[in-house]
Amino acid sequence: MRCIPLSFVTPLAVLVAGTVAGPLPRYADAATVSMTSDLDNTLFQFDPDDPYATMNANGEGNFFGAGVTRSRSQIQRGLIHFDLTGLPAGTTVVPGTASLRLYIVDSPGKDPTPRPFWLVRLTGLEDEPWGEGPSSIDMQSGAGGGTDAEPGDATWFYTQYDPAKGHDQVTFIPGGDGYWDVMGAFGDDPLDPQATYGDPVGIAGLENEYVTLTSAGLPDDTMVDDLNAWIAGPASNFGWIVLGDETVFDPDLSSKRGFATHEHATAGYRPLLSFEYTFVPIPEPQAAALMLLTIGALGWIAGRGRQPR
């Protein structure tokens, strides 16, 4: 039997594999993407002892809030989501490049103190994603508390509000259909985000200013980790909750800031998420399988060629 020399088989295997599967994938040069949010809303704390309290939201208004208000000491928590499904498969966000720029449209009482803010990834909402209903009130005098929630809105109790159900602590069903697991997504009590989540990702000043939130330079680049997790598993993307310093309770000061939403009439004020990414093209499954079969067949031929005559 005639043997096939290994010196011939090895280059042949590489040639055939390359022809079948194409060139080996490599990281592309980093590209930059910028996008605005596709969903944003506010969780307005519900106070049963407040005669003016209502089940409020602001699904389609031009602001969302986060922090504690000055006059009523109401906790507000912002919700924001970005659609990442348009990125190519195999995308990886470059560490240290993720940032979220927000425009401040409200600083209650003209609070002069710069206030810290945190971004926390929302998880565990596979069956109950939070919603943005048709409720709408634009930033103006007295509008900072939102407006009556509409069906589908995220509220202090609901991931998606259902007006046919009750809306107080008595009728709240933790983890029930359409409800958060706990009130306010993270509980009804004030949070100290510094103690729980570490250093803030940004400091917000007065209205008519921009603030940039980024975890670049912090011990944990959480924003990049979150983005990569969402890109790898789009079904897990429920966005971030924006937290202010909820330990501030002062009739003269407020840690709350109102930020422009994706509905704001001025496009340049809308939330802007930016980051750099690279990607490794993922070969077609059929091509990859054929490549493996080809290499296996050539390996078998090479093995036959080594057998003694």
Task: Please report, for the chain, the start and end positions of each structural domain, with discontinuous segments joined by +.
Answer: 13-27+284-309, 38-87+104-266
Task: Reply yes or no on whether the pLDDT at 294 is more than 90.
Answer: no
pLDDT band at 166 (very low <50, low <70, confident <90, very high): confident
Please say whether the beta carbons of 297 and 12 come within 8 A: no
Mean pLDDT of 284-294: 54
Looking at residue 78, its pLDDT comes to 98
Q: How far is CA 135 from CA 42, 61, 148, 150, in A?
A: 11, 7, 7, 5
What is the chain's percent helix, strand, coil content, to nearest 5? 20, 25, 55
**Structure confidence by residue, pLDDT tens digits, 226-275:** 999 999 999 999 999 999 999 998 888 899 999 999 999 999 999 999 99
* Ranges 24-28, 99-103, 244-248: which has the least confidence: 24-28
203: nearest Cα among 104, 120, 280: 104
Mean pLDDT, rounded, for 284-299:
55
Q: Categorise residue 178: left if φ over 0, alpha if ψ from -120 to 50, beta otherwise.
A: left
CB contact at 8 A, 151 and 140: no
> Does the pLDDT at position 20 exceed 90?
no
pLDDT for residue 15:
39
Greatest CA separation for the chain? 98
Mean confidence (pLDDT) of the chain = 85
Gap between the Cα atoms of 267 and 271, Å rounded: 9
Closest CA to 128 of 174, 61, 187, 169: 174
Evaluated on CA atoms 65, 165, 38, 265, the torsion sign reads negative
pTM given for the model: 0.82
Residue 16: exposure state from Cβ atoms within 10 A (0-12, 13-18, ≥19): middle
